[in-house]
Amino acid sequence: DTESSEADASTVEPSLEDSTQEVALDVRGLTKIYPDGTLAVDDIDFSINDGDFCVLIGPSGCGKSTTLHSLVGKIPVTEGEIRLGGEEITDAPTYERDIGLVFQDFQLFPHLTVGENIEYGLQRLQFDADEQEKRVTDIVEMMRLEPLIDRQPEELSAGQKQRVALARSMVLEPKLLLLDEPLGDMDYKLQKHMERELLRLHRELDTTFVYVTHDQTQAMRLADQIVVMNDGKVEQSDSVERVYNEPATAFVSAFVGDSN
Ligand code: ADP
Ligand code: MG
């Protein structure tokens, strides 16, 4: 009958919004001036789609780490707005943000075992014992850390330490995982291996990644989206293809051209 088919037509009407990916992170007008007067991040805007592997790239000193530290709440911002999953988190305490941060130098607790390092942040979340154990078991299996669970950090190789650092962040199941040059100190072969591990981890988890590097070729291999920074500003925020084929500025053109 006509009445019900009309109703059906109105409910299935295609909407443009439904066909676009949801925005996970939205940054507007972010500015950071350090207490000594250094303008490290200068009024930047960018957004990242839910589930994307975003690479934030730019030369040393351009403001990449400052941006990550602002996102996670490690430092207060001077101006601007940060939204995660639609919710404003600009001034929220770090532990309420649902954002993980992995450092270049891992920053494992030296006096705790691998297992204790991974469990550390979970205690605050107060899961029951079963849920806590399941989360730890799952991530330990995913990162293939079973044989290392009772070791001390000092007994591990760089690649092993990085896997523990990733596991320690991922066990908290953050919406957003920030990685600050996490493969910076590794040799080329180990970097390639860890890149594959990161891509696998990203595929298996429902998490948006922001990965910081100054290495253009690494950005190419990893990214869905690239944000190019220079001197505290965002020069371009786009898909990998567009950044390489249609660089927005002379800086982007020269910077991505470096690797060719
Ligand atoms: P990147 O991670 O891209 O190398 P940073 O965010 O570390 O860049 O640094 C951006 C700018 O801010 C640089 O000029 C750096 O010297 C400066 N800077 C970083 N941390 C501080 C700080 N705690 N106090 C003052 N200036 C800082
Ligand atoms: Mg840095």
Mean pLDDT confidence for 175-195: 89
Question: From ligand 1's centre to the CA of 65, what distance in Å?
Answer: 7
Residue whose CA lies nearest to ligand 1 atom number 11: 40
Per-residue pLDDT, 18: 47
Q: Whose CA is nearest to atom 14 of ligand 1?
A: 61
**CA 51 to centroid of ligand 2, rounded, Å:** 23
Q: Look over the chain and give the mean of its residue pLDDT values, rounded to a whole number.
A: 89
CB 114 within 8 A of CB 190: no
Beginning with the edge strand found earlier in the chain, give each strand of the sheet holding 99-102 in spatial order. 99-102, 176-180, 208-213, 53-57, 225-230, 233-239
DSSP assignments along the chain, one per residue: -HHHHHHHHHHH---HHHHSPPEEEEEEEEEEE-TTS-EEEEEEEEEEETT-EEEEE--TTSSHHHHHHHHHTSS--SEEEEEETTEE-TTS-GGGS-EEEE-TT----TTS-HHHHHHTTHHHH---HHHHHHHHHHHHHHTT-GGGTT--GGGS-HHHHHHHHHHHHHTT--SEEEEESTTTTS-HHHHHHHHHHHHHHHHHS--EEEEEES-HHHHHHH-SEEEEEETTEEEEEEEHHHHHHS-SSHHHHHHHHTT-
Taking CA atoms only, the protein residue closest to ligand 1 atom 25 is: 34
Mutate to test the pocket of ligand 1, among 32, 34, 56 (most ligand atoms within 8 A of CB): 34
Give a three-class secondary structure readout of 88-123. Answer: ECCCCCHHHCCEEEECCCCCCCCCCCHHHHHHCCHH
Atom of ligand 1 nearest to the CA of 68: 6
How far, in Å, is the centroid of ligand 2 from the Cα of 3?
62
Residue nearest to atom 23 of ligand 1 (CA): 34
Atom of ligand 1 nearest to the CA of 232: 10
Pocket (CB within 6 angstroms of ligand 1) = 34, 36, 38, 40, 58, 60-66
pLDDT at residue 50 in the model: 95
Closest CA to 62 of 234, 237, 251: 234
- Read off the pLDDT of residues 232-250 as tens digits, 9 standing for 90 and up: 999 999 999 999 999 999 9
180 C-alpha to ligand 2 centroid (Å): 7
Residue 34: its pLDDT value, please?
98
pLDDT band at residue 75 under the 50/70/90 scheme: very high
> 233 vs 32, 58, 169, 252, CA distance in Å?
11, 10, 28, 12
Please write the tens of the pLDDT for every residue from 120-152: 988 877 788 888 889 899 999 888 899 999 999
Nearest Cα residue to atom 24 of ligand 1? 34
Distance (Å) from CA 63 to ligand 1 centroid: 6
C-alpha radius of gyration, the chain, whole number: 20
Position with higher pLDDT, 106 vs 233: 233
Query: ipTM above 0.95?
Result: yes
